[in-house]
Amino acid sequence: MKLTVDRDRCEGYGFCEQAAPSLLRLDDDGEVELLTDLLRPSDISSAEAATRACPVAALRVVEQ
Protein backbone atom coordinates (compact mmCIF):
# COMPACT_ATOMS: atom_id res chain seq x y z
CA MET A 1 0.00 0.00 0.00
CA LYS A 2 1.11 3.52 -0.73
CA LEU A 3 -0.01 6.99 0.42
CA THR A 4 -0.21 9.67 -2.27
CA VAL A 5 -0.94 13.39 -2.15
CA ASP A 6 -2.33 15.62 -4.87
CA ARG A 7 -0.45 18.84 -4.11
CA ASP A 8 -2.68 20.85 -6.46
CA ARG A 9 -5.70 19.99 -4.28
CA CYS A 10 -4.03 20.40 -0.88
CA GLU A 11 -5.02 23.61 0.90
CA GLY A 12 -2.99 23.08 4.08
CA TYR A 13 -5.78 22.54 6.59
CA GLY A 14 -3.61 20.11 8.57
CA PHE A 15 -6.35 17.66 9.52
CA CYS A 16 -4.32 14.88 7.89
CA GLU A 17 -1.33 15.69 10.08
CA GLN A 18 -3.52 15.51 13.16
CA ALA A 19 -4.89 12.13 12.07
CA ALA A 20 -1.52 10.62 11.10
CA PRO A 21 1.42 12.59 12.56
CA SER A 22 3.80 9.69 11.98
CA LEU A 23 3.04 9.77 8.23
CA LEU A 24 2.42 13.43 7.37
CA ARG A 25 3.36 16.93 8.39
CA LEU A 26 2.79 20.43 7.13
CA ASP A 27 5.98 22.21 6.08
CA ASP A 28 6.76 25.87 6.79
CA ASP A 29 4.74 26.90 3.72
CA GLY A 30 1.67 24.99 4.92
CA GLU A 31 1.99 22.23 2.33
CA VAL A 32 1.62 18.59 3.26
CA GLU A 33 4.81 16.57 3.30
CA LEU A 34 4.79 12.79 3.24
CA LEU A 35 7.17 11.40 5.83
CA THR A 36 6.86 8.07 4.05
CA ASP A 37 4.81 6.99 1.10
CA LEU A 38 5.19 3.24 1.50
CA LEU A 39 2.87 2.04 4.23
CA ARG A 40 3.57 -0.72 6.68
CA PRO A 41 0.54 -2.79 7.66
CA SER A 42 0.47 -0.96 11.00
CA ASP A 43 0.25 2.43 9.18
CA ILE A 44 -2.77 1.66 7.00
CA SER A 45 -5.48 2.62 9.49
CA SER A 46 -3.76 5.97 10.23
CA ALA A 47 -3.32 6.66 6.51
CA GLU A 48 -6.98 5.90 5.87
CA ALA A 49 -7.99 8.19 8.75
CA ALA A 50 -5.88 10.97 7.24
CA THR A 51 -7.55 10.55 3.85
CA ARG A 52 -10.99 10.74 5.45
CA ALA A 53 -9.98 13.85 7.42
CA CYS A 54 -8.91 15.79 4.32
CA PRO A 55 -11.75 18.16 3.34
CA VAL A 56 -10.45 18.53 -0.23
CA ALA A 57 -9.69 14.83 -0.88
CA ALA A 58 -6.00 15.44 -1.59
CA LEU A 59 -4.83 12.13 -0.12
CA ARG A 60 -5.28 8.58 -1.34
CA VAL A 61 -4.23 5.16 -0.17
CA VAL A 62 -3.52 2.99 -3.20
CA GLU A 63 -2.23 -0.46 -3.99
CA GLN A 64 1.32 -0.52 -5.27
Whole-number pLDDT of residue 60: 96
**N-terminal to C-terminal alpha carbon distance within the chain:** 5
Whole-number pLDDT of residue 48: 97
- The one-letter code for the residue type at 8 is D
Going from N- to C-terminal start, the domains of the chain cover 2-62
Nearest to 20 by CA among 55, 44, 56: 44
Please tell me the distance from the alpha carbon of residue 37 to that of residue 49, in angstroms, as a whole number: 15
Q: What is the CATH number of domain 2-62?
A: 3.30.70.20
Whole-number pLDDT of residue 14: 95
Whole-number pLDDT of residue 17: 96
Whole-number pLDDT of residue 37: 80
Whole-number pLDDT of residue 39: 96
Given a cut of 70, the residues of the chain with pLDDT beneath it are none
